[in-house]
Amino acid sequence: MATRALAVTVLLLLAPAAAQVPPGYKTYENKLQRVTFIYPTAYQEMPLPPTEQVTVAKFVLKGKPEELKRVPDRIFDAVKPQIEVFHFSPPTATTSAGSEPAPPSEGDKPVDDKSPATLRQAMEESSRVTTWEEFCKRLGKWRLDEDPKKPGHFTMTFIGDWKVPDTRPVGYLVKKQEGTSTFGVYGYALLEYQKLQQAQFLKIASSLKLASEESGEAAEAAIEKVYASGKFRAVDFRKKARAELAQGWKALDTENFLIVHHSKNEGLVRRIARDIEAMRVFYMELFAPTGPMDKLAIVRICRTKEEYHQYGGPPSSGGYWHPGNEELVFFDYSYTMKTLDDDERKRLGRTKLTDDDSLLVLYHEAFHQYIHYAVGEFSPHDWFNEGFGDYFSGAVVANDAPRVLRIDPSPWRIHTAKDMCEFGLGFIPLKEILEAERAVFYGPARVRFFYAGAWSFLYFLKHSKEVAANPAWSQLLVTYFDAMKTCYAAELAKIEGEANLQQKTVAGFLTRKAAMKQALTGIDVDELEKVWKKWVVDMKDPWPSKRQKIK
């Protein structure tokens, strides 16, 4: 018995150091990443945008710790404890045969005379850093002070506007250097959590090391196995997205999409996988693309609204299409409903968040994703883009087959549109809606009226007898869409060589103006506005009890 105990002791002593993970910590699942480390299990890993070049992993504290119980929730949510692991290296210098590359100086920056050709390339470039000075600029309103007794250890002092008494944000950063690679960990929390979080940083930093070339082989082999059948296209893109999945996230492949999700609602995920393919067919029938639609689209479903905003979801939004990250992002509405506190439920009133809300957002944002590629990777006018997004949000997809049965009115826009047209509440003239560029359309004071006006005008064009009986009105949408495709191609043809992003932006602006001019040729806009307003007032309201009375 003693011999057996001794043998076990020896085996434990000979076990690799990587297995000696402290209680409350776990080893980061290296999915082809550049560094390895351990992190506290009290934190939840957050996904990173696909254009991120420096952050290796980001973690947010799961719950509210005892140290911060007295802090109001709104303050805690604004400065929720988070940790980020980073890595960057200088660019590889080009040398003549047989010579050694010169070591880069601290101020060196890669020289690239070629401007980005796409928004994605521009975002990747803006995210990339190659020097410590550039990295510090990423930290925005934080000042770093290195501890003279501990080189590479920095206190982070918040130098932005902070008006909350009794507490303040504090941070800590540990920097490591190995060869030309700079890597480390940093994060922040409110003052009351500083001592505990700093101890967490030190444990993470002590475990941080550059990953070996073989460290991601197991993950890579597992992903290879998923696509061994050859069933799907864009396999390299799919593999990369799967390799970058955050802890707890899953992926589901469809013919034209990769759905990455953190939802426990498997029924919703399966419904989304089916419906988004049905909607894509429907979009293509109405708006034939300029060329092959061979880009694989990413659909990201966050578990809750809070997680959606932590990922980057804009305030007061329910979902968004990001052309730079090439992702459609929204969240599980029904699961979010279960997580709301009493105050949040009170603000909703009788409204209940359900799977139907998730699908409504999906149909809306998927149109943005589709049309971006269909017209040549630029944006039409927002009345067209957002108006049709809201139009398709009313889609009813069959339960027994992936096909669209009909388009119902938008429950999110119909009452605002009726109030605009019947009572003049926030009414925006049709000409202004049709000519508005992005800054005007999204102006905070009137954005909801622009949305409602755009949706109701498109619903009018698609469903009214008055439009069907007028040849010029009935061709407005077709003329505008066709003009967008031809005018954009013509503008790009004027540019020598490959157009960069700035040139494409100018071409898009000129295209929108030209397309709108063609679409309105021979149309009396004032007469069209008068008929549209009356039609909206007379339009049947499927939800009259939800319309607030105008006093």
| pLDDT value at 406 more than 90 | yes
The three-point CA angle 45-51-53 to 5° equals: 75
Mean pLDDT for the stretch of residues 440-461:
97
Same domain, 191 and 77: yes
Same domain, 53 and 127: yes
**Separation CA 130–CA 181 (nearest Å):** 9
Mean pLDDT for the stretch of residues 214-220:
70
**Checking phi first, is residue 254 left (phi over 0); if not, alpha (psi -120 to 50) or beta?**
beta
pLDDT computed for residue 349 by the predictor: 82
Q: Which pTM does this prediction carry?
A: 0.86
- Helix/strand/coil (H, E, C) string of 166-231? CCCEEEEEEEEEECCEEEEEEEEEEHHHHHHHHHHHHHHHHHCEECCCCCCHHHHHHHHHHCCCCC
Instruction: Categorize the per-residue pLDDT at 20 as very low, low, confident or very high, splitting at 50, 70 and 90.
Output: confident
Q: What is the dihedral of CA 16, 22, 26, 30, to 10 degrees?
A: -40
Instruction: Categorize the per-residue pLDDT at 216 as very low, low, confident or very high, splitting at 50, 70 and 90.
Output: low
Same domain, 295 and 422: no
- Do residues 208 and 215 touch, judged by C-beta distance below 8 A? no
Same domain, 220 and 206: no
Is 7 inside a domain boundary? no
pLDDT computed for residue 294 by the predictor: 87
Same domain, 34 and 182: yes
Question: CA separation (Å) from 436 to 209, 494, 516?
Answer: 52, 26, 11
306-310: long-range contacts (C-beta < 8 A, 24 or more apart)?
306/77, 306/336, 306/339, 307/46, 307/262, 307/331, 310/46, 310/60, 310/80
Structurally, the chain folds into a number of domains equal to: 3
Dmax over CA atoms of the chain, in Å, equals 99
pLDDT 10s digits, 301-343: 999 999 999 999 998 899 999 999 999 999 999 999 999 888 8
Q: What is the CATH number of the domain that holds 156?
A: 3.40.1000.10
| pLDDT value at 534 more than 80 | yes
Same domain, 56 and 121: yes
Which residues lie closer than 8 Å to 385 by C-beta, 6 or more apart? 367, 368, 371, 379
Q: What is the dihedral of CA 158, 161, 167, 171, to 10 degrees?
A: -20
**Separation CA 39–CA 547 (nearest Å):** 50
Is 38 inside a domain boundary? yes
pLDDT 10s digits, 358-383: 999 999 999 999 999 999 888 999 99
Residue span of the structural domain in which 17 resides: 12-91+115-210
DSSP 232-268: -S-HHHHHHHHHTPPTT-EEEE-SSEEEEE--S-HHH
DSSP 390-402: HHHTTEEE-SSSS
Is 386 inside a domain boundary? no
pLDDT 10s digits, 486-514: 999 999 999 999 999 999 999 999 999 99
Same domain, 172 and 225: no
Mean pLDDT for the stretch of residues 9-34:
63
Distance of CA 249 to the CA centre of its chain: 15
Helix (H) or strand (E) holding 349: none
Which candidate, 428, 408, 399, 407, places its Cα nearest to that of 416? 428
Same domain, 64 and 171: yes
Q: Domain ends where: 210, 242, 257?
A: 210
Is 108 inside a domain boundary? no
Instruction: Categorize the per-residue pLDDT at 238 as very low, low, confident or very high, splitting at 50, 70 and 90.
Output: very high
Q: Phi and psi dihedrals of 241, rounded to 5?
A: -65, -40
Q: Domain ends where: 148, 175, 210?
A: 210
Is 433 inside a domain boundary? yes
- Backbone CA torsion sign across 11, 13, 19, 21: positive
Is 151 inside a domain boundary? yes
Using DSSP's 3-state secondary structure scheme, residue 427 falls into: coil
Same domain, 46 and 188: yes
Same domain, 165 and 190: yes
pLDDT computed for residue 34 by the predictor: 85
Same domain, 332 and 460: no
Same domain, 192 and 331: no
Using DSSP's 3-state secondary structure scheme, residue 335 falls into: helix
Is 106 inside a domain boundary? no
Is 153 inside a domain boundary? yes
| pLDDT value at 430 more than 60 | yes
Q: Domain ends where: 180, 210, 240?
A: 210
